[in-house]
Chain A
């Protein structure tokens, strides 16, 4: 049975803000940030919270990090209540809420980690070893930047140091709020690879918020799409895609031998596929387009290739078109 690391049950949170109306008057405004959010995250899983700006991602993350109290509902980390057992929860989590700040500018990367390590209860040789290991893990040691002042760091280096701090106490749960926001592609890729490694090789559970579809698709084992304080869908990436469309489109570009007509080709393919088949001549060759169920994809592709081969057709290109996570996101969040 899978171990629950995070359990969120019907979390609700309102914020009060005041709008200035003239010099002395102000108007109270209530913003409903969470309207009953529930989900579970299991050990070793990378779980993504995907949503537009203002959807409630950071509010959820702050509640789980013990930095914000919910108005109602419960949240547990490894069985500890984030409100009543906040200190116990803090011992078991590593947090990165922003990558561009959160460190002392006049301290080096290593000194920053030494300070936060002590603040989190590490000391002596264990602390020094842990700091060194984290600097190596996130690649700052390799870059020769461990002993540079934080003020000299690039954004990519800052992001790496932020992950190193989150991992410093060897926590069971990593909570990362948009960890690749603003990073250049190589730094973002490195960080994603690091997250996958940390989760799948070191058995950490990771909760990540993002609105980067590509990142969510390659990093997350499961995703919850949150919109206006409500989780509108939660599943694996494939599962979410099926919410938008059950079908996928397989497209092939083939060159026919002179003896094979378009009609013959269409009949041959229709014998393999239960759905719609289109055959169109183009300048590059003949384009075949068939609509399939995702479960048929491999079997149908192999059978089509076998038949095309036996007919003497040469296949120039094969392309599988399925709904993207972006399609799912736009569909479920109403295009926001």
Chain B
């Protein structure tokens, strides 16, 4: 018995879901392209690729830029929505008690059994963009972009797990039937600079932006969209910040989740 089987259980659950729900599989592949098309379509309404470069102020291919944003936005939303929402989902279908009696700490069960799902979904979505990236940047450039985005997805997940676990603990405790992350997610994405560069924000929003791990994940992903070779020094800095935040948020969530678990088990919320 160990964490490996716990991780594997999450992966197996998703594989079974895909096997039995083909529509879900198709929609998973279609969704990033739909979102990208929407972003690009709106972008081209405002002007050409050259206009985009001068407006945003970066030397980036808008297609690659939006692929990076789309992937990271979706991956980040997925972590926060799914880890937080998993408590609700299990509660609705009645599996929550049976998941919680797994022989691990509740926070470990909820977070670890989700990780394979996240990686599977995110990498499948990243993989489907490889042809576009290779078309825009050439073979080497496209694969380098894929690698950097993959790194952003993995490293960006670590602090978000703790971040999302705090919300999942909250949902467990207050016996809430709506996922508050549903309305919180867009705010987090805006503050992280998913749609507008963070330097345009007022001071208070910039401060909040600095506290959010997603800000650095977006930056990391966007480095891949800049024209020319990736800037290693910047990448290393962002990865270091994300690791630091991972430690901070996961330590915090571990403590809070313990308290929330105990409160939930005392109040009969399970």
B16 in contact with A95 (CB, 8 Å): no
User: Cα distance A108–B16 when bound, in Å?
Assistant: 9
Q: Nearest chain A CB to B258's CB is how many angstroms away?
A: 12
The answer to whether A67 touches B103 (Cβ under 8 A) is: no
Provided the pairs A102-B98, A103-B95 are in contact, do residues A119 and B113 lie with their beta carbons within 8 angstroms? yes
Minimum CB–CB distance from B109 to chain A (whole Å) comes to 7
Contact present for A67 and B102 (CB under 8 Å): no
A15 to B100, CA, bound (A): 20
Q: Are B1 and A121 in contact (CB under 8 A)?
A: yes
Partner of A87, one of B8, B12, B105, B262: B105
Q: In the complex, are the beta carbons of B101 and A101 less than 8 A apart?
A: no
- Tell me, yes or no, whether B202 is within 8 Å of chain A by CB: no
B interface size (C-beta, 8 A): 33
Instruction: Collect the chain B residues with CB atoms within 8 Å of residue A307's CB.
Output: none
Whether the Cβ atoms of A115 and B101 lie closer than 8 Å is no
A116 contacts partner chain B, Cβ-Cβ < 8 Å: yes
A231 sits at the interface (CB 8 A)? no
Q: Is A69 an interface residue (CB 8 A)?
A: yes
Residue of A nearest to B102 (CB): A119
- Inter-chain CA distance A140–B9, complex, in Å, is 23
Please name all residues of chain A whose beta carbon is closer than 8 Å to the beta carbon of B17 when the two chains form the complex. Answer: 104, 106-107
Distance to closest chain B CB from A122 (angstroms): 7
Least CB distance from A123 to B in Å reads: 5
Q: Which residues 56-115 of B have a CB within 8 angstroms of A?
A: 93-95, 97-105, 109, 113
Q: How large is the interface on A (under 10, 10 to 19, 20 to 34, 35 or more residues)?
A: 35 or more
Q: Closest residue to A98 on the B side, CB-wise?
A: B94
Within the complex, which residue of A68, A93, A106 is in contact with B268, where a contact is CB–CB below 8 Å? A68
B270 is an interface residue with CB less than 8 A from chain A: yes
Roughly how many angstroms separate A304 CA and B105 CA in the complex, as a whole number?
66
Residue among B5, B16, B109 making CB contact with A122, cutoff 8 Å: B5
Binary flags per residue of A83-97, CB closer than 8 Å to B gives 1, else 0: 000011011010101
Q: Which residue of the partner chain, among B5, B21, B93, contacts A118 with CB atoms under 8 Å? A: B5
Q: Please, which residue of chain A has its CB at the minimum distance from the CB of B13?
A: A115
Q: Taking the complex as formed, is A16 at the interface, i.e. its CB lies under 8 A from any CB of chain B?
A: yes
Q: Is B169 an interface residue (CB 8 A)?
A: no
CA A116 – CA B6 in complex, angstroms? 10
Which of A88, A119, A121 is within 8 Å of B99, CB to CB?
A119
B9 to A119, Cβ gap below 8 A?
A: yes
CB pair A101 B5 closer than 8 Å: no
Q: How far is the CA of A69 from the CA of B260 in the complex (A)?
A: 13
If the complex has contacts A67-B97, A105-B93, A122-B5, are A91 and B20 also in contact, measured as CB distance less than 8 A? Answer: no
Is B240 an interface position by the 8 A CB rule?
no
Which chain B residues lie closer than 8 Å to A123 at the CB level?
4-5, 8
CB distance from A287 to the nearest CB of B (A): 54
Closest to B101 in A: A90
B51 within 8 A of A: no
- Contacts A68-B268, A68-B270, A122-B5; A90 near B97 (Cβ below 8 A): no
* Distance between A20 CB and nearest chain B CB, rounded to angstroms: 15
Decide if B265 touches A91 in the complex (CB within 8 Å): no
B267: chain A residues within 8 A (beta carbon): 15-16
Q: How far is the CB of B221 from chain A (nearest CB, A)?
A: 32
Q: What's the minimum C-beta distance from A84 to chain B, rounded to whole angstroms?
A: 12
State whether the Cβ of A57 lies closer than 8 Å to any Cβ in chain B: no
44-69 of chain A: CB within 8 A of chain B: 59, 62, 65-69
- The complex places the Cα of A71 from the Cα of B267 at a distance, in Å, of 10
Q: Does the CB pair B21–A119 fall under 8 Å?
A: no
- Are A101 and B94 in contact, CB atoms less than 8 angstroms apart? yes
Complexed CA–CA distance, A66 and B265 (Å): 8
In the bound complex, residues from chain B placing their C-beta under 8 Å from that of A107 are: 13, 16-17, 20
Residues of A within 8 A of B16 (CB): 104, 106-108, 111, 114-115
Q: Output the least CB separation between B9 and chain A (Å).
A: 4
CB-defined contacts of A15 to chain B, threshold 8 Å: 267-268
A165 to B1, CA, bound (A): 17
Min C-beta distance of A94 to chain B, whole Å: 9
Distance, CA A88 to CA B1, complexed state (A) = 12
Task: Give the complex CA separation of A279 and B246 in angstroms.
Answer: 88
Contacting residues, chain B, for A90 (C-beta < 8 A): 101-103
Interface residues of B (CB under 8 A from A): 1-2, 4-6, 8-9, 12-13, 16-17, 20-21, 93-95, 97-105, 109, 113, 262, 265-268, 270
A-B contact list, 25 entries, CB within 8 Å: A16-B267, A67-B100, A69-B265, A69-B266, A90-B101, A101-B93, A102-B93, A102-B97, A103-B94, A104-B13, A104-B93, A107-B20, A111-B16, A116-B98, A118-B8, A118-B12, A119-B5, A120-B102, A120-B103, A121-B1, A121-B5, A122-B1, A122-B5, A149-B20, A165-B98
Closest 4 pairs (CB-CB, A-B): A121-B1, A101-B94, A118-B9, A90-B103
